[in-house]
Amino acid sequence: MHPTSHHPSIPPAHVNAEGQLAGFVHSFDTGAAVDGPGIRFTLFVSGCQFHCLYCHNPDTWHLHNGQLMTVDEVLKELKKYAHFLQFSGGLTISGGEPLMQADFVGEIFRRAKQELKLHTALDTQGFLAAHLPDDWFDSVDLVLLDIKQMNPEKHKTLTGQDLQPSLDFALRLSTMKKKMWIRYVLVPGYTDDPADIDALATFVDQLSGVERIDVLPFHKMGESKWLELNMDYRLSDVQPPAQQSIDWVTHKLTLPINSSITRCVKQS
Ligand code: SF4
């Protein structure tokens, strides 16, 4: 385990009354087929520094909204599915933003690999990754990296945070020869400017280790959660992207900039 609590950007690790490492868990999904290769056990943890305008899970933003669980409790749950996951998929940790609880998440990954021999995937926007040492990622087989926008100002409008840490993390993963899937949410009027798509294609072209790019069409399934939380959902009038737009972005991102990349579009 790598203690991260000394760094002010990553909240201190939690320990329960017995001194066991614990973290705030939003939920599990035991049949997910979209968060990495095969069938995934996806653990959604609480806490996120981004406030994406389209976020489907704004109830995960606050760390303490989750249920406090020890690493042992999570492993116990995961073990129920381990034999199946060993040959059919693996563990994905998503959120929220998993790096908000880097000690907790890192320990789950380490034990899932060592004790359960599972394939592991980290779903992150990478904002806090600079605060973690390279070997924190030794137990992570695949990084699902969300790049929200390629224009720094638009990124700030969309997420409330700076773009550069996500890009720095992508470059670092490339240097580390870590496998990556890039994920990009296509939102009309917010992320579909041709210049921004070109910038993303150019950026990804310089990375090694990118196995796939997922273009995720914006939809409003999260709107009801915003309303339940009395939060102002600013994308009410934004429609999902037209198929023509999805096809165009897919085309731009699937240009043969790296023939080893398998790119696809998910319609969900
Ligand atoms: S990074 Fe993910 S969890 Fe965080 S606000 Fe954006 S969409 Fe929501």
Q: How far is CA 13 from CA 2, 21, 92, 150, in A?
A: 10, 7, 20, 32
Nearest to 252 by CA among 189, 204, 180: 204
Amino acid occupying residue 29: D
Euclidean distance between CA atoms 98 and 35, whole angstroms:
14
Task: Read off the pTM.
Answer: 0.93
pLDDT, tens digit (0-9, with 9 covering 90-100), for 50-103: 999 999 999 999 998 899 999 999 999 999 999 999 999 999 999 999 999 999
Q: What percent of the chain has pLDDT over 90?
A: 80
Instruction: Decide if 24 contacts 66 (C-beta within 8 A).
Output: yes
Q: Per-domain residue ranges for the chain?
A: 14-265
Nearest to 266 by CA among 202, 193, 216: 216
**Ligand 1 atom at minimal distance to the Cα of residue 96:** 3
Which residues partner with 215 through β-bridges?
Answer: 184, 265
Nearest to 163 by CA among 52, 57, 13: 52
Is 62's C-beta closer than 6 angstroms to any atom of ligand 1?
no
Q: What pLDDT is recorded for position 255? A: 66
pLDDT, tens digit (0-9, with 9 covering 90-100), for 158-214: 999 999 999 999 999 999 999 999 999 999 999 999 999 999 999 999 999 999 999
Beta-strand relationship, 264-265 and 39-45:
unpaired
H-type alpha helices, 80-161: 82-88, 102-114, 152-159
Evaluate whether the domain defined by 14-265 bears CATH number 3.20.20.70. Answer: yes
Amino acid occupying residue 157: T
Distance 17 CA to ligand 1 centre (A): 31
**Ligand 1 atom at minimal distance to the Cα of residue 51:** 5
What phi, psi does 234 have (nearest 5°)? -85, -5
34 token code pair: 């979209």
For the chain, counts of helices (H) and of strands (E): 8, 10
204 token code pair: 């990804």
Choose the residue to mutate in 27, 52, 156 for probing ligand 1, maximizing ligand atoms within 8 Å of C-beta: 52
17 token code pair: 């009354």
| C-alpha dihedral sign at 52, 54, 55, 59 | positive
C-beta neighbour count of 193 within 10 angstroms:
14
Is 48's C-beta closer than 6 angstroms to any atom of ligand 1?
yes
